[in-house]
Amino acid sequence: MTDSELHTLKYPIGEYVKIVAPTKDQLALFISDIHLFPQRLHEAVESLSQSQLDTRYRPDGWTIRQVIHHCADSHMNSFIRFKLALTEDNPTIKPYFEDRWAELIDGKMAIEFSLHILDGLHTRWTALLDSLTDTELARTFMHPQHPTPFKIDEYIGMYSWHCNHHLAHVTELVKRSNWQSSMI
């Protein structure tokens, strides 16, 4: 496999590109992506077998099962980061080792648990995002591994990309493998 092919498998929708000062229309699309993600993910995996869920979407990558559990982990962390930024002045968040989290025992459990988490979490998250004022959208938090603060409006765009990025890991593997999925 060439480096280019591996890169395409790793970033099926392309690498994240930050949108600085997103417009109201862009924010609405980002929030819609976040809102629809649990439903779209469920549709993409509902007909997959346990063996298919344990297939890696790329060489040395995670299994589809791990991707789903990672999304629950990542999105819970992100939701908390949003709430910290809304309730504290430029807080410093705590990063986590997502690769290590993916190897823990709960990353091997049935996907339904993480799908349920995503359903409830994204319902709450969307309600929060839909309520934000311009002042709240400009609030920030610090990530200790980055020199500049993250703005909430830009971070919404990052998580829209994150949803679509991991959804594409699933849907592209389903297509490449000629598996049946209700989403394809």
Per-residue pLDDT of the chain (184 residues; tens, 9 = 90+): 899 999 999 999 999 999 999 999 999 999 999 999 999 999 999 999 999 999 999 999 999 999 999 999 999 999 999 999 999 999 999 999 999 999 999 999 999 999 999 999 999 999 999 999 999 999 999 999 999 999 999 999 999 999 999 999 999 999 999 997 544 4
Is residue 141 within a helix (H) or strand (E), and if so which, with residue range? strand 140-141
SS3 56: strand
**Which fold is adopted by the domain 41-177?**
Four Helix Bundle (Hemerythrin (Met), subunit A) (1.20.120)
User: SS3 helix, strand, coil % of the chain, rounded to 5?
Assistant: 65, 5, 30
pTM score, two decimals? Answer: 0.94
Q: Which residues, 6 or more positions from 11, have their beta carbon under 8 angstroms from its beta carbon?
A: 165
Are the C-beta atoms of residues 64 and 50 closer than 8 Å to each other?
no
Question: Distance between CA atoms of 61 and 161, rounded to whole angstroms?
Answer: 19
